[in-house]
Structure 1
Amino acid sequence: MSVREHPAAPPPQAPPTATGGRLRTLLTTERARPEAVRRHPWAWRLAVGTVCFGAFMGQLDASIVTLTYQPLRTEFHSTPAGVEWVSLAYLLTLVAFLVPVGRISDVRGRKLMYLYGFAVFTAASAACGLAPGLAALVVFRVVQAVGAAMMQANSVALVTTSAPPGKMRAALGIQAAGQAVGLALGPTVGGALVSTLGWRWVFGVNVPIGLFALVAGHYLLPRTRKCAAGSRIDGLGVLLLGGSTTAGLLALSVASGLGPPAWTALLLATAAVAAGWAFLRRQARCARPLVDLALLRTQRLGPGLLAGLCGYLVLFGPLVLVPVELARRGGAPLTTGLVLTALPLGFALAATTAERLLPAGWSDRLRSRFGVLGCLAALALLAALPPTAALLPLPLGLLGLSLGVFVPANNALVMRAIPTSSAGTGGGMVNLTRGLGTAVGVAAVTLAMHLVPGDAGAATAALTMLAFAAVALLTTLGRGPGE
């Protein structure tokens, strides 16, 4: 009998095993960029541009979903508090997952987790568009938020590890501009989709963008050059951090008028503080913590994260204040949308041009301080001027320009304080401050207008934001030299 008829190897079960191994490798290993892309002078710009898809989609989704509230109430016969969970469930999940996902990405690979995030976000967006009821929609929004966390935890890390050392601030400015464009287009695109194709297309619009970004990311994003040691994740730390942030955000929502009795806000706030204290104790004792507390004590990282939270609070606060005040004065929705556009457009303009227009010798610390001073001036104008459609574009535009200078410079300071091997965790922390700043900004402005009704409410809300901007200014004064 011939040798061909009696092969010695491989055994019959080997081919399926080999196929399964190849599939497992394909799904768990980062693929390199094509050599032509890697060697191209614009390789880092292509990588940053790809990350901008995620930045754009995240902010577009944040600003577009609120326009579905009324049609959702009508179709599903829901209360306003019930519909609010479409946004609240997303935000709670996103904030809870950012730091843990960043830690996993540092170990497993940031490109890999980013692409999986796009896949999950895109699939969940399609599911949201097909949701048969409000409960199903909220569940799909939770899944969508998990995908968004996988993207956002790695976005800043991918930008900072892709850009040459001298281009980090410019790259972060481009990413911030992508966020601002998504934020600016949200009300316009959302209004057009809801009024023509229906609320389901507010989620469906993410699908073609997500599919394109998946392909672009596969070919244009670099592999993780340096991974963190260890593969175990602190599960108890994840639960404590998630519990603390969730309870804290729910407390803010209740305090600003979500619906439950006011005493529940105090109970939730107590739970948030207790879980937060337990989380810090856990991180101090854990061999492989989610967050390195020693880094938080440095002169740059802790103050930088606090400044970032204040900056995003100041960015999102007016997005609540302006629509309420203009509606109270009889303003049309289209007019409100056009007035609000001054803020994100100013942000995008400054984020992309500040690198060329500001003196090259200015450090990130000085740029951060300059941006915060502009925010203080803009918020003082916002508090002093009557909140009318004719006057609001001036302080909003100045605020956007100032934040466009501040945010990229502050993010650069934070990321330079974090080792490359922990860039994903650092990026998760940066985006955690953005999520918390967003929530606190919405809650603080809403609460201010509840406590001080009438014309004085807008001035009170503006002064509240000005106080947080002053805190950001103090952090820029307290940082050490050479930053």
Structure 2
Amino acid sequence: MLTEERARPDRIRTRPWAWRLAVATVCFGAFMGQLDASIVTLTYQPLGTQFHAGPAAVEWVSLSYLLALIALLVPVGRFSDAHGRKLMYLYGFAVFTAASAACGLAPSLGVLVAFRVVQALGAALMQANSVALVTTSAPPGRMRTALGMQAAGQAIGLALGPTVGGALVSTLGWRWVFLVNVPIGIFALLAGQYLLPRTRQRAGGARVDVVGVLLLATATTAALLGLSVGSGLGLPVWTAAALVALALGTGWAFVRRQSASTHPLVDLRLLRSGGIAPGLVSGLCGYLVLFGPLVLVPVELGRRGESPLFAGLVLTALPLGFAVAATLAERLLPTTWDDRTRALSGSVGCVVALVLMAVLPSTAAVLPLPLGLLGFALGVFTPANNTLVMGAIPQSSAGTGGGMVNMGRGMGTALGVAAVTLALHLAPGEAGSRAAVAVLLAFALVALATTTDSKRTKASHNGN
């Protein structure tokens, strides 16, 4: 049973709503991942106090997780395409849950960072397969609805994260930010055994480009370490230039290897077809814009003397707007809008929201308005953009494509954390907050440009 996918009971599999149960189960993973992502930023201050570390060191509680996730998502997706997406997804739940417990018991910042890497392995097993499980479970014509359900699961996790995180940090302490994942993970693991479908179409040749993985990991780690040096990590200034040079060199070597490899980690042929590359860039920018405020707002309100709980309540407006859009967009938006129109309108909304953040006062009374608008715009943009990307990818490569989508998502999240931390360090106080918003606005404009210029292929998948 540990190496084979278990079939769903016939009383579940034969029901017309069985696909909804499968998607709902995937939503548990989406919920856990986004709850963890939005909750961890609220631990920065208590972690720094307990372990006597600065912001540039504490941010690696997030960055170590994200870097491991980025390196693992595509190879895990490819492996899952050949050996079973359901099986790998369930292993992901098990690893993520166990690692969450270990993070909650970590005795030092270094140990916590190490267990976050293990936690990222579990998250990679879940995330690389989540989009593929959704798109291959949904019947024809229901993929956007299914992806919207998954986005709603993400949105609920994001929406609860700041409030739950602020309450846990203010009462039980930062360790419970990680321990809260344990009961959710156990329940989801049991549900997945009975509700997720087995993999019907598998890709052959699951060989993993180990050298490619190492080059990608080195490039992304060096780039973010370079940003951390600029953010006050405590290393000599010259190391920042050396790290940037290392990132550029290994990044170039990674692209060259993917072009020449018979089993590339990233299939460049996919990137050249159907507007996939612009869609991935748009998705990266969208998640950068989503997660940047999760770092910025607690710091800004903390500077004004507000508690983590209060900061979490204010910050809830962002994921709450995302949740409203993800769950109600089908009713609120014109039925004549196709996915490209939705993605375009969402990216425009992001630009408008960030312009408001740039010109309005950064106070607790004002911030919920632009944050809520930003979240709503991203909730419209993200499912539509993901549908456009996945609709252009062959179903036999759905796991690999889902891994690419989530790799871009992870890179965007990591850059959002690092870029905002750098802006706050270089220009402390009010000026730092304005600089951080300007950075987020620049990436929102990139998302708008790539959405406008891309020529996307309409989604057309057959459900299982």
Band of TM-score, shorter chain:
over 0.9
Verify: 1:310 aligned to 2:285, yes or no.
Answer: yes
Which one of the candidate residues 247, 257, 272 is aligned to 1:297?
A: 272
Corresponding letter in the other structure for 2:284: L
Deviations 1:4-63 (A, max 9, x none): xxxxxxxxxxxxxxxxxxxxxx22221221112112122111111111111111111122
1:69-468 aligned at under 5 Å gives the runs 69-73=44-48, 82-468=57-443
Give the aligned partner of residue 17 of structure 1.
none
TM-score (norm 1): 0.89
Structure 2 contact 66–411 (Cα < 8 Å) conserved: no
Q: CA deviation at 1:69?
A: 4.2
User: Cα gap change, 1:449/1:124 in structure 2, threshold over 3 Å: closer, same or farther?
Assistant: closer
Q: Which moved more, 1:451-460 or 1:208-217?
A: 451-460
Larger Rg: 1
User: Does structure 2 conserve the Cα–Cα contact (< 8 Å) formed by 1:255 and 1:443?
Assistant: no
Offset at residue 209 of structure 1 (A): 0.9
Alpha-carbon distance between aligned partners in 2 of 1:179 and 1:88, rounded to the nearest angstrom: 20
Q: Is the 8 A contact 1:173 1:352 kept in 2?
A: yes
CA distance in 2, matches of 1:396, 1:458: 14
How far, CA to CA, are the matches of 1:360 and 1:205 in structure 2?
39
In the TM superposition, residue 187 of structure 1 has moved relative to its aligned partner by 2.7
Pairwise CA distance, 1:303: 0.1
**Cα distance between partner residues in 2 of 1:325 and 1:141:** 26
Q: How does 1:46-57 map to 2 (within 5 A)?
A: 46-57=21-32
**Deviation of the 1:433 alpha carbon:** 1.1
How far 1:72 moved relative to its partner? 4.3
Offset of residue 327 of structure 1 = 2.6
Aligned-pair CA distance for 1:128: 2.3
Picking from 431, 446, 449, the partner of 1:471 is 446
Distance change in 2, residues 1:390/1:435 (3 Å)? same
**Could you say what the CA RMSD is over the residues aligned between the two structures, in angstroms?**
2.0
**1:380-430 alpha-carbon deviations (Å, 9 max, x no partner):** 111111111111111111111111000000011111111111111111111
Q: Structure 1 residues 330 and 481, CA, compared in 2 at 3 Å: closer, same or farther?
A: closer
The structure-2 alpha-carbon separation of the partners of 1:458 and 1:127, relative to structure 1 and needing over 3 Å to count, comes to: closer
Question: What is the CA–CA distance in structure 2 between the aligned matches of 1:278 and 1:208, rounded to whole Å?
Answer: 43
Any conservation in 1 of the 2:67–2:414 contact (CA below 8 Å)? Answer: no
Corresponding residue of 2:3: 28
Q: Which has the higher contact order (CA 8 A, sep 6+)?
A: 2
Which deviates more from structure 2 when the two are superposed, residues 113-122 or residues 159-168?
159-168
Is contact 2:288-2:416 (8 Å) kept? Answer: yes
**Number of paired residues?**
458
Determine helix, strand or coil for the equivalent of 2:411.
helix
Q: Distance in 2 between matches of 1:75 and 1:449?
A: 22
Partner residue of 1:10? Answer: none
The residue matched to 2:358 in structure 1 has which SS? Answer: helix
8 Å Cα contact 1:306-1:472 kept in structure 2: yes
Q: 1:69 to 1:416 in 2, by over 3 A?
A: same
Question: For 1:28, what is the secondary structure of its paired residue?
Answer: coil
Residue in 1 aligned with 2:461? none
Give the 3-state SS of the residue equivalent to 2:2 in structure 1. helix
Q: Which runs of 5+ in 1 are unaligned?
A: 1-25
AA at the equivalent of 1:432: M
| Identical residues among aligned pairs (%) | 73
The AA in structure 1 aligned to 2:116 is R
Q: How far has the Cα of 1:188 moved from its partner?
A: 2.3
Aligned-partner Cα distance in 2 for 1:114–1:362: 33
Q: In structure 2, what is the Cα distance between the partners aligned to 1:192 and 1:334?
A: 5
What residue number does 2:462 align with? none
Q: 1:80 to 1:317 in 2, by over 3 A?
A: closer
1-structure distance, mates of 2:378, 2:61: 28
Please say if residues 42 and 298 of structure 2, whose CA atoms lie closer than 8 Å, have aligned partners that are also in contact: no
Distance 1:151 1:459 in 2: 36
TM-score normalized with structure 2 length: 0.93
Please give the alpha-carbon distance, in whole angstroms, between the structure 1 residues aligned to 2:12 and 2:112.
40
CA 218–280 in structure 1, closer or farther in 2 if over 3 Å, else same:
same
Which moves more between the two structures, 61-70 or 230-239? 61-70
Name the counterpart of 1:9.
Answer: none
Change (3 A) 1:76 1:310: closer
What code does the residue aligned with 1:117 have? G
Q: Secondary structure at the match of 1:166?
A: coil
Q: Which residue identity does 2:83 align to in structure 1?
A: R
Structure 1 residues 326 and 65: CA distance shift in structure 2, 3 A: closer
CA contact (8 A) 2:391 2:457 kept: no
> How far apart in 2 are the matches of 1:237 and 1:479?
28
Residues in 1 aligned to 2:73 and 2:92: alpha-carbon distance in whole angstroms: 12
Q: 2:316 aligns to what SS in structure 1?
A: helix
* Inter-partner Cα distance in structure 1 for 2:180 and 2:318: 24
**Residues 53/445 of structure 1: CA separation in 2 closer, same or farther (3 Å cut):** same
